[in-house]
């Protein structure tokens, strides 16, 4: 029977070195989404079901376009960070890096597509 102290059990495991920064990044993006999601729902909900011309005219105004763009950016950044934690916890070996790279490409690609759609509507 081995009697190990907590320090002795932890020796050799090391630290992730980015846990605190990652936690604060997720907290800040969550608070930003707490503000942006209701704004997005109110701006998007008022134009829901309208014709293309009305939607295009509505999103050519700065406030709805900026709210939609910020919501897309922050939500995909939050998704990317959260999914990366999930992959780091449950996938190991070389597949971990492949999954993180693939998820990052999909996340940034979806954000770029959303921003392009907002820009196309706004301009």
Domain boundary assignment for the chain: 24-122
Tell me the pTM: 0.82
Answer whether 104's CB lies under 8 Å from 66's CB: no
Distance CA(36)–CA(45), nearest Å, equals: 14
Domain 24-122 belongs in CATH node 2.60.98 = no
Per-residue pLDDT of the chain (123 residues), as tens digits, is 567 787 777 776 666 667 788 889 999 999 999 999 999 999 999 999 999 999 999 999 999 999 999 999 999 999 999 999 999 889 999 999 999 999 999 999 999 999 999 999 988
């Amino acid at each position: 029977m081995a009697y190990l102290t907590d320090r002795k059990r932890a020796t050799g495991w090391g630290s992730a070195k980015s846990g605190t920064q990652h936690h604060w990044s997720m907290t800040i993006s969550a608070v930003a989404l707490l503000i942006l999601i209701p704004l997005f729902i109110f701006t998007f909900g008022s134009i829901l079901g309208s014709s293309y011309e009305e939607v295009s005219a509505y999103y050519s105004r700065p406030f709805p376009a900026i709210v939609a763009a910020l919501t897309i950016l922050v939500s995909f950044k939050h998704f990317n960070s959260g999914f990366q934690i999930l992959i780091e916890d449950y996938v190991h070996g070389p597949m971990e890096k492949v999954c993180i790279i693939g998820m990052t490409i999909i996340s940034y690609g979806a954000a770029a597509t959303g921003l392009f759609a907002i820009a196309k509507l706004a301009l």
